[in-house]
Every structure is written in C-alpha cells, then in structure tokens.
A and B are shown apart, each in its own frame.
Chain A
Amino acid sequence: MTTQFAWNLDAPGKRCILSGNEAAARGAIEAGVRVVASYPGSPSVQILECLAAAARERDMYAEWSINEKVALEVAAAASFAGLRALSIMKADGLNVAMDFLTTLPLSGILGGLVLVVSDDPGAHSSVKEEDTRYLAPPAHVPLLEPSTPEDARDMLVWAFEISEKARLPVMVRLVTRICHARGNVQLKPIRGDSRRPHFAADPGFVTAARFHARTHERLESLHPDFESSVFNTYNGPQRPELTLLASGVSHCYAMEAVERLGVGDRVGILRVGTLWPVPEKPLLDVLARSRRVLFLEEIEPFLEEQTKIVAADHWDTLGPLTFLGKKSGDVPWVQKGRGMGEMDPDIATRAVADALGLDFSPVPPELLARRDALPELSMPARLPSFCAGCPHRASYWAIKTALALDGREGFALGDIGCYALGVMPTGYQTIRTVHSMGSGVGLAGGFGKLRQMGLRQPVVAVIGDSTFYHTGIPPLINARTTGADYLCIVLDNGTTAMTGHQPHPGCGVTAMGDPACALPIADFVKNLGIPLTMGDPYDVHRTVAAILDLLDKGGLQVLLLQRACSLQAGKAGGKNRAYVDPDKCRGDDCGCSRLCSRTFACPANIWDEAAGRAAIDEVLCVGCGVCAALCPQGAIVVEPEGGQDVLAMIH
C-alpha cells in the first residue's frame, strides 16, 4: 500500500501524498514529457531525481547537466525536435540560463517546453532571496505560480499545453514552501508519448530581432487562456470591503487569515495563478468591485506592481483605489529564516486584521505573559555545521593555519556549495566572499592582477568539484591568459554534496545511473598548463605545508585536495575506530582549551563532563583521524578497523 514513488504510479484517481517537487514531476509525467535536464539546486533538486528514476519505464531521457544554461539548451533541443521537454533550476541558476532563455521566445519552440524555477523565500538554502518573477517579462516568457502541490501538478500539465499553443517556453515559479511541502494529490492519467524526434526543415528556429513583434503577438494570443484560467479564482462577497490579491502559497495563508478572523462576509480573495502576462480581466473585475486591495505574495511586490500598472491603465474607469502591500508598508517584511521575503499565516492574518481595523495577536496576551515567565535557557544556536569527518573542515583548518603562518594577511575567497559554510564558525570563518557559482575563482583573478598596483596579500580561491565544472573553468582559463597571481584550492569530495550527492562530470555516472566517462579535474588543470599539486585534506599537516610552499612560490597555482564526502564514505562502510586515551588527555589542565571539541569542533569530538576529559562520539565519528593529528597531547587513538583507502573510491 505504500505510496512511495507515487509520482510514477499509473493509477488515475488514486489519492497520494506528494511533495511539491514530486507533484511537479508527476505533472511532467502526466503531460508526457520526454526530455528533462537540470543542474542540482535547492529547493527543487528532487524533481529531476524523481523523473530520472522513472525515465526508463516512461521512455524519457533525464540528465544532470554541467550547468543551468546547458540544461535549458538540452531541453530546448528536444522541443525543437517536437517532444515535450522540461528544465528545472533554482533562482540563481536562472541567471546562468538567462542568456539562452531570452533568445528562445524569438526563435520559438515546437514541443511544449516548460521551465521550473524554484525561488527560496527566507533563503533557507540560498545566499539570497531572488524573485525570478521579474525575469519573465524581459524574457517574454509566460509565468505561472502554483499554491499547493496538487496545483503544481495541474499547472505543469497546463503549462505544456499553452507552451505548444503559443510556441513559447513557459515558466512555472515554485517556492520552498511548495517544493518542500507535502499535500494530497489525486493522480490523473498519464499521457504516453513515443513519437520519434525529428528536426524539421520548417519551421526554423532562428533568433532574430525581426521576430520581436511575433513574440509579442504570441504573448497576446495567450490573453484569453490566462483571463479565463481556472488558476485565477475569486471567492468572497459581491462587494467586499477589502480584497486580498494572493499568489503562490500565500493564497493558503489568505484563506486561513479570513477564516481565523471570521471576516468571510467582508473580505474577498482573488488568487492569481497566471502571473504574467497579467490577467487583466479578472483583476479589473475585482478592482471595479473593491476600493481597497491588499497583496499577499512572497519576496518582492511583483503582483502588487503589476496590478498597479493595470490600475493606472484604467484609472479613468476605476477611480480612486487604495493599495496595501509591501510598498505601502501595510504588509511588513518580517525576518524569517535568513531572509525577509517569506510569508506565513501570522503575517498574513495580522496584515488583514490591520487593514480592517481589527485587534489581532497571533499569540493570546495571557500566553505571551506565560511564555515570558518561562526560564531563559541559553539555547544552542545549532548553526549549520560540516558533518563529522567532513574533509572541508580539515581543508579549512589547513587554509586558515597556512594563511596565519604565512603572515602577509592573505585571504581566501569562496562561493556556493557545502564549502560556503567556510564563512561560518564551522569553517573557522576562513573565506571572506561568497557570491555565486565559481565567483571565488573569478574574483581571485581580479585580485591577482592587482599585484602590479601594489597588492601584497596572498590570494586564495576555494572551489568545490561540482562548482569547478559548473563555472570554475572559464575563470581559470582567464587567469592563465592574463597571468593573474593566486592559489586556487579545489576541494574535491567526489560529488555534488550540498544538494544530496548528485553526480557531476568527474563521477563517471549519469543521472539515470549509466556509466559515463569521468573527467578528472587534474586533467583540466594540467592541460591548461597550470602547476598542479595534489593532496589529501585529512593529512592536515602536510596540507598546511603544501599551501605555505605554494604561497611562497607565487604565480597561478592549483592545489587539488581530494577526499570523499564523509557521508558517502560512511555509507560505503568500513571505518577506523577513534577514541580518547583518558590517561593522555589532560582535560582542562592541558591548556589547549578543549581544542578538539571547542576549536576544531567536529560533531564527533565531545566533552565528557563527568570525567573532565575529551571523548569521541563513536556513532558520529567516521575515523578520519584529523583530530588525532591536531591533539597536542596525542591523546586520540585511531585504530584501523576494516578501514580502506577512501581516496581510491572517488577516482
């Protein structure tokens, strides 16, 4: 009876629980998608994983592409050959693919082409809160946004239809609270498709500015579909005191706000599911019946601005209106997660209550008083941490130590991946910049040319293996040509670890599990003629010495530090056993200030309060031995126990 893999069941009518990601994958399967390409990015990683798992059975092709631009190009090729195709990326990835996306509506497409973009309000797993809805208008791409997982499935299916009809790619914006939410989805029939792809001589797919007018006509042609779409629905009284305009998951919060406040007879809700081109008719209907409008949406006030444009176009018939939203300050920006763009039921309810002049406190005052009376515990912050035995921790220890020993105020630049935690205490706050994929290396290329103007500090760029393939190679080529002076340290853990161990071109395996040729990073570096040094981050003292030596030499250098991600190595089984010799550990008399559990701070290094000695949590410990190398008393013993050379496993 299990509903696992429910996204692939051929069981119309069955009610399942699917995550937003699974539901989007299900929508693609129901629509008969044939080619899917993506680069892993949270929160939408699982969509391609679901489709890759079903690919063989459904006669589909799924790939993890080297980056998002290539992914969209792979999907577009299938569309040109008449098949339905899907590309998936996180918001940041759309920027990478944007160059190609802006040319697609001009060339037109043939088979339905859908682009799922996942935004991350609250920046739960991103460095920024980018609202990709703003990128649809300049690209001339129609934009949809679902409110629930079931909606995501329905919208995917419809997106393929309108894409084929208008001959335009269609963008579906998901957010974290859709991707990582789960809800009931009733399965619908799967449209089987086994057509043979063929690239016909006619129509052509040339991008040229002369097709700009045709693109606008195609967008215009969608107006009737958008204006009558079931995804734009109004619920509420005929002449509401206040109308809530909600898009995405905020629609759920809007309904909950009205229910909690008991104001269903005073407040109407227009849910806008087709966001761009703006569905004018339903908007005008609502604006004509309501003098006051409140916007509930995630991240930026996109719907608010689009609605104001419509209102301005029709100001003479609409008359004065009051708009309440993020722009007016009536819907507050509230810090949630690491950002301020996420909506929740309490923000929504408070905004509606304020607009109606009602008293509302999400927590009743008497409960607030009780809560304040609770003892203040110094709660552990539970900051993100590298896993026990993570090779990145050892690498950052070595980099930080070497830069300090070097003594010339050298600095390290990083970017996106697990190793971005190098800005946090778990990475000893070693890296000083984190921007976008590959940017650490690009920035180092700039710093490395400031030598001639007198920059004396050593420059280190840190990049992970998957990021190296994604966008790390062009800046290295650039530096090789310009003669930029820096040390690039590649942290190669043999996988795309941050997003859940997806394969990359160095892994020798495809998204569908087929063997592929592995392209070692070392070969790229050697072929570029850049001096290459290899090392094992677990060998921390030798790594420090190597970094010091390379900084001393100067010039463009690459240090490749290889060690399998400790989570993957742990799954492979066989590990050394580490323990603290209580006779050698001198506890707080040592003077090391609990170096292993406080400073090195691997989760497996713990402090035995009763014994007053360091200890190892053997459940967590992977036996890497780095702490043993660092302990000033040599009190940590590592015993090989069926241990194997993990390095050999990656390459």
Chain B
Amino acid sequence: LNIIISGVGGQGNILASDLLSRTFCEEGWSVSVGETYGATQRGGSVVSHVRLSGRHAYGPLIPLGQAHIIIGFEPLEVYRILREYGHASVRVVMNDRPSIRWKPCRRTAPIRLPWTGSPKPPSGRSVRRIEGGAGTELAKAAGNAQALNVVMVGAFRRPAVGPACQTGLPATHRRDLSRTPAGDQPQSF
C-alpha cells in the first residue's frame, strides 16, 4: 500500500508521516518512508512517501502512477502529486485551504484554482474519490491551526484503511486527536 502525504513546509507533514509509520509499525507492517524536504524550508513543497507491506520492506520512493492514497495538506500540492502519481483508483483526503506564494520580483497573474470552494476533484479521471474538507478550520476549532497534521491523520482513518487506530498514537497526539472533530467524525469532514 502506497500513501503519499503532500503539503507545504511548516504544515507538519513530516510529523503526520511519522505518526502513521509508527502506528503501522506497531501493527506489525513493514514500513518504508521516504521524505523530500531538503532545503525547502518554510513554504516549499514537502512530500512523504509511506509504503506498507506485509511481505518485505520496499525502497523509500513510490513509483510514478502507483499511489493508492494521497493525504493532501494543500490543494495545489495534491494536484502536483496527482499529475505524477494519480490513477483511476487513487483516493485522496485533502485540506481545502490553498497556500500560494507569489514568485518574488515578478508580476504574476493570480492563480485560479479550478475547484476551490467546493471539494470537487480536480479531475474525475485521475482519482477515485476526494474527501475534501476545511482541515485548517477544524484545527483552529480544536485550538491551534498547527494541529492540522493531526486532523489530517484523523480524517485519513475512516475513509482509508483500518490500522491507523487511535490507540497507536503517542499520548500527546492522542489527546489532540480526541479534541479534534475530524478525528471522531471523518464523514462530516
């Protein structure tokens, strides 16, 4: 099973992939995680590849077109990932708040998001289903916009696969998760 977590530096993607991978490890899976952040610092693209296998550990990178689930912290980054790794049966859990930076020193036309406002898939054909929602707002409601990563992991629980269970999370994050609406009601997400 190949999961891609994509977002922008500073959103907590790495901790989210850390939570998932530790949880799956506790459940007895072979887990490989590859992360790309390098010198992106805050505001650059950050991508985690999480690969699960019952047989043996795979390499840390997912081949093109082979993602099964995409957890997107930011819509444009989801689009970027879908273009390379999407296919007809990929499932997406997405936060709908865009993060757009202008290219410095240059006049740039505003970037129009074709699907902002309604959690509609960017392309019905490179994705099976998108669960979109106001993750940042839910995190703010839970007390801190920086809890977005835990909200996203919580949202991932239901529509995706079983083993990311609440008991697998470290105590501090479990507490966050129980405070987080999305953690308990992903269907309202």
Pairwise interchain contact A364-B65, C-beta atoms closer than 8 A: yes
- Cα A349 to Cα B62 in complex, Å, equals 12
Do A256 and B59 contact each other (CB < 8 Å), given the known contacts A385-B44, A385-B101, A425-B105?
A: yes
- Residue numbers in B under 8 Å from A150 (CB-CB): 57
B80 interfacial contact with A, CB 8 Å: yes
- Residue numbers in B under 8 Å from A1 (CB-CB): 26, 168, 170
Do A252 and B59 contact each other (CB < 8 Å), given the known contacts A182-B31, A378-B111, A598-B105?
A: yes
Pairwise interchain contact B41-A384, C-beta atoms closer than 8 A: yes
- Cα A60 to Cα B35 in complex, Å, equals 30
Residue of B nearest to A15 (CB): B25
Pairwise interchain contact B126-A385, C-beta atoms closer than 8 A: no
- Cα A363 to Cα B86 in complex, Å, equals 9
* Interface residues in A559-605 (C-beta closer than 8 Å to B): 593, 597-599, 601, 603
- Residue numbers in B under 8 Å from A384 (CB-CB): 39-41, 44
- Residue numbers in A under 8 Å from B104 (CB-CB): 385, 425-426, 428, 598-599, 601
Residue of A nearest to B57 (CB): A183
B45 interfacial contact with A, CB 8 Å: yes
A411 interfacial contact with B, CB 8 Å: no
A541 smallest CB distance to B (angstroms): 21
Pairwise interchain contact B102-A598, C-beta atoms closer than 8 A: yes
B138 smallest CB distance to A (angstroms): 16
- Residue numbers in B under 8 Å from A176 (CB-CB): 38
Interface residues on A, range: 35 or more
A377 interfacial contact with B, CB 8 Å: yes
B108 smallest CB distance to A (angstroms): 8
B120 interfacial contact with A, CB 8 Å: no
Residue of B nearest to A338 (CB): B38
Contact of B22 (CB < 8 Å), options: A3, A373, A609 = A3
- Residue numbers in B under 8 Å from A274 (CB-CB): none
- Residue numbers in A under 8 Å from B44 (CB-CB): 382-385
Interface residues on B, range: 35 or more
A281 interfacial contact with B, CB 8 Å: no
B87 interfacial contact with A, CB 8 Å: yes
Do A385 and B43 contact each other (CB < 8 Å), given the known contacts A183-B57, A380-B111?
A: yes
A302 interfacial contact with B, CB 8 Å: no
B32 interfacial contact with A, CB 8 Å: yes
- Residue numbers in B under 8 Å from A603 (CB-CB): 42-43, 101
Residue of B nearest to A342 (CB): B61
A374 interfacial contact with B, CB 8 Å: yes
Binary interface profile of A, 422-458, with partner B (CB < 8 Å = 1, else 0)? 0001101000000000000000000000000000000
Residue of B nearest to A603 (CB): B43
Pairwise interchain contact A344-B41, C-beta atoms closer than 8 A: no
Do A182 and B76 contact each other (CB < 8 Å), given the known contacts A363-B64, A381-B103?
A: no
Pairwise interchain contact A182-B103, C-beta atoms closer than 8 A: no
Contact of B33 (CB < 8 Å), options: A124, A182, A381, A593 = A182
A415 smallest CB distance to B (angstroms): 14
Pairwise interchain contact A124-B38, C-beta atoms closer than 8 A: yes
Secondary structure type dominating chain B contacts? loop
- Residue numbers in B under 8 Å from A364 (CB-CB): 65, 87
Pairwise interchain contact A599-B59, C-beta atoms closer than 8 A: no
Do A17 and B21 contact each other (CB < 8 Å), given the known contacts A124-B38, A384-B40?
A: yes
Pairwise interchain contact A428-B33, C-beta atoms closer than 8 A: no
Binary interface profile of B, 115-155, with partner A (CB < 8 Å = 1, else 0)? 00000001101100000000000000000010000000000
Pairwise interchain contact A607-B102, C-beta atoms closer than 8 A: yes
B161 interfacial contact with A, CB 8 Å: no
Pairwise interchain contact A380-B76, C-beta atoms closer than 8 A: yes
Pairwise interchain contact A377-B58, C-beta atoms closer than 8 A: no
Pairwise interchain contact A377-B114, C-beta atoms closer than 8 A: yes
Binary interface profile of B, 169-185, with partner A (CB < 8 Å = 1, else 0)? 01100000000000000
Binary interface profile of B, 66-104, with partner A (CB < 8 Å = 1, else 0)? 000000000010011001001110000000000011111
A355 smallest CB distance to B (angstroms): 18
- Residue numbers in A under 8 Å from B187 (CB-CB): none
B34 interfacial contact with A, CB 8 Å: yes
Residue of A nearest to B60 (CB): A181
- Residue numbers in A under 8 Å from B100 (CB-CB): 380
Pairwise interchain contact B8-A367, C-beta atoms closer than 8 A: no
Residue of B nearest to A337 (CB): B38
Pairwise interchain contact A182-B21, C-beta atoms closer than 8 A: yes
A346 interfacial contact with B, CB 8 Å: yes
Do A252 and B103 contact each other (CB < 8 Å), given the known contacts A183-B31, A371-B126?
A: no
- Residue numbers in B under 8 Å from A388 (CB-CB): 42
A619 smallest CB distance to B (angstroms): 7
Interchain Cβ contacts under 8 Å between A and B, 9 examples: A17-B18, A125-B38, A177-B61, A182-B32, A252-B59, A367-B86, A380-B100, A385-B101, A426-B104
For the complex of A and B, the 8 pairs showing the least CB-CB separation, nearest first, are: A124-B38, A252-B59, A601-B104, A2-B170, A181-B60, A182-B33, A363-B65, A125-B38
Known: A252-B59, A344-B61, A597-B102. 16 other contacts (CB 8 A): A1-B170, A124-B37, A148-B57, A182-B18, A182-B31, A253-B61, A344-B63, A345-B62, A346-B64, A364-B65, A380-B103, A385-B43, A387-B42, A426-B104, A598-B102, A603-B42
